[in-house]
Amino acid sequence: MEPEKLTEEALDEIAETFTSKEVCDRVCRDVFIKNRWALHKTIEWSKSDKVYLKRAAFMIMVGLAEENRELKNSIFEVFIPILEREKSDERAEIREVIDLARDAIKARHERFGRERGK
């Protein structure tokens, strides 16, 4: 699977097949974060009631924060209100990944701040 060649519709189709957090997390980290639709899907899927679609949104945040050095830190500020909005979700699969996303974004800001002498 070539991440950069997947269409927006293909991402939706793949994400709809997730039935476990392990598969969801792996595909998000290995495929989705390398696709041009990743940021868009993060915002869209974070509003879903479907557990693995919502989890995918936050796992993309984690992957982008940890692995995509080309994105500006300001992009991640868009995610903060989403994390706040969804933090009351009581499902363990969601609470866990929201915490991971928050930690990854915080670590990214700290790491890149030091690297740039800020």
For 27-79, what is each residue's pLDDT tens digit?
Answer: 999 999 999 999 999 999 999 999 999 999 999 999 999 998 888 888 898 99
At how many degrees (to 10) do helices 38-45 and 51-67 cross? 140
What are 5-22's pLDDT values in tens digits? 999 999 999 999 999 999
CA distance 18 to 23: 6
Range of the domain at 80: 3-115
Sign of CA dihedral 58, 63, 68, 73: positive
Residue burial 77-111, b: 16+ Cβ < 10 Å; e: rest = eebeebbeebeebeeebbeebbebbbebbeebeee
What are 74-118's pLDDT values in tens digits? 889 899 999 999 999 999 999 999 999 999 999 998 876 655 444
Residues 6+ apart with CB under 8 A from 45: 15, 53, 54, 56, 57
pLDDT in the model for residue 118: 42
**How many domains does the structure of the chain reveal?**
1
